[in-house]
Every structure is written in structure tokens, then in C-alpha cells.
Amino acid sequence: MKIIGPDALVFGVDNLPACSQYLMDYGLADVGNGRFEAVDGTAVVLRAKDDPSLPASMGTASMLRETVYGVADEATLDAIATELGRDREVTRSGGVLRCVDDMGFALAFQVTVRRPLGPQVEKLNAPGSPPQRPVNVVAVDDQAPSLPLTLSHVVYFVPDEAKATAFYIERLGFRITDRLGGAGPFLQPRGTQDHHTLFLIQTPPFMKGVEHFTFHMAGPTALMQAGSRFVAKGYESFWGPGRHRMGSNWFWYFNSPLGCHVEYDADMDQHDESWVARMAPIGPDASQLFLFTHREKWAPGGPPPGAAAQP
């Protein structure tokens, strides 16, 4: 089963205008019909929470109503339909399979909509290596678009992590790349080498739902630039910027009106089947290599930020 990763996340929200503005300010493009796309066509889809076209709510505060997976080919859709059809209802309409996982998360599968991105990587100059950026080309560009490139991963709060993990491994061919003890596994489907497209966290049942989702940025500079712009627009930083240990991805999380956190990430590790999964108890050192807090811009010669407010 060549499942690549999430093509789209569908939300049923309380406040459509606020969520729409949030996703546009985050950097996604409003392409109409409630769809907000990254550069490669992966997306977040917004609907009003009482929209009858949505799969049922899970009965918690979570606004996530469907995770749409992109797969490589029709053969994968056939394999998923056969496998999951053994013990649950699987519908197939317009090239999209729909069913529900063992925790009650609505899933859809389709041949991926992802468009090829082409080279996007940030170019670094380092002593001892040939310059990646040509001579006289500067790295800092105030006008750089810093756009989310592709939907990276989604994180679920689940009431039975072992059962949820078994479903994705045994029924859909995911594998565990690493595990944070006390939380859950990082999971990678077979159609990608990204460290994870799904992370599961054990929680009480009332918390079941989405904890956050993330789009890949071109690199740490794009992540910092996008996050700084997001702060400047008034959005609240929740965690970051920093660099995770498992997956090595740079991160910056924000609060959102979608009932979950929303992250920028960059430079995630790639793994194949030869990788041996690690396990570390969850804690600050296991969660990140380093962590910073955003500050207002400042320059030598003036008071430090906030100094003017001191008595």
C-alpha cells in the first residue's frame, strides 16, 4: 500500500470567517469552496460545523472531521478497499474511498492530488564546502513568499494508543520510526520516506481528536520568516521556534481558531525500512534539541524590548 501522506484535512468549524483568515495568513491559498491549498495542492478544507456533507463529529471538542490520504495509485486504493472491507463499511465514490478507523476518525483515500514541487531547498554557504548560493546572491529577502509547500503530518489524541497504532501498522502498512514513551509512536506510511506523517498521543477519551497539523516549509529561514510574519499579524505563538529531536524537524506552533494547534515545520529526516526505531521517554530533552522564544526586533543602541515599560 503506497500511502503517501495526508492530502487534506477537513474541519467543521464554529467561525468560518476567522478560520479562513487564519489559514490565509498562515500562507495557504484560498482556491474556493472552503479549500486552502499549499504550493503542491495539499490542503485544509473548512466547512461550517453543521454542514450535512461532513462526516459525523467524534463527540469531543475536536473540529477535525476527515483525514484525506493521498495514495500513489489505483492499486493501493483497491488494496485498502479489500483490507478494510473485511470488517467495516468502505464506500467508493468518484475515486475516493471512505471509512472510519478503530478510534472513530473518519478517513478518506484518493490518488494523490500532490503536484511536483521542483527544487525548493534553502541554499547555505558553509566553510569548506562549495557555495550553494552563487556569489553576489544575498540570502535575506524581505519579500520572500515563505509559503507552506506541502501538508506534512497530523497528530491525533487517541484514547487507546496501542489499538490505534495496531490499526495503522497491521491494516494500512505504516511503520513506527520512533516512539516517545508515555505519548505514542511516530508513524510513516509506505509511500514516503518522511520521518512521520502521523503521530499518536495517548489521552483520556474526552480529548480525542486532532492536536495539530503541519505543512513543510523550504527550510529554517522560511519557517522563521513565516512564523515572524504570523506573530506580526497578531497570532499567538504556542511553542517554538525550535528543533525537534525525533525527526529533526524545525518547528513553530501557533494557537488557532480550528480547535487545535497549527505548526510550521522544515527539514525533517528521511528514513527507509533499514531504520531502527528509537524510544525515549517523553520530556523536554526528548522533545527538542533546542527551543527559542520569539522576541520583538531590536538593535544595539536602544533599550531592550520592553524596557520602556519598566518604572
Residues in touch with Fe ion (CB under 5 A):
214, 263
Position of minimal CB gap to Fe ion = 214
Pick from 122, 278, 255: which is nearest to 196 by CA?
A: 278
Please identify, using beta-carbon distances, which residue of 214 and 221 lies nearer to Fe ion. 214
Nearest Cα residue to 66 out of 86, 91, 29: 91
Cβ of residue 59: shortest distance to Fe ion, in angstroms?
25
Instruction: Give the residue with the Cβ less far from Fe ion, 34 or 189.
Output: 189
282 CA to centre of own chain: 20
**Nine-digit cell string for 206:** 474526552
Which H or E run contains 232? helix 220-232
Instruction: Output the smallest distance, CB 238 to Fe ion, in A.
Output: 12
Looking only at the bridges linking them, the beta strands covering 96-100 and 91-93 are: antiparallel
> Min. distance of Cβ 271 from Fe ion in angstroms?
16
What is the C-alpha to C-alpha distance for residues 82 and 78, in angstroms, rounded to an integer?
6
Q: Which is nearer to Fe ion, 47 or 195 (CB)?
A: 195
Strands 278-281 and 209-216: unpaired
Q: What distance in Å separates the CA atoms of residue 105 and residue 99, rounded to the nearest whole number?
A: 9
- Nine-digit cell string for 51: 454542514
> Measured from the CB of residue 270, what is the shortest distance to Fe ion in angstroms?
16
Cis peptide, bond prior to residue 130, ω within 30 of zero: no
Q: In the bound complex, what is the minimum distance in angstroms from residue 300's beta carbon to Fe ion?
A: 35
Nearer to Fe ion, 7 or 265 (CB): 265
Q: CB 179 → Fe ion: shortest distance, Å?
A: 15
Nearer to Fe ion, 1 or 200 (CB): 200
Phi and psi of 133, rounded to 5°?
-105, 125
- Nine-digit cell string for 275: 531504520
Using the minimum distance from each CB to Fe ion, give the nearer residue, 66 or 194: 194
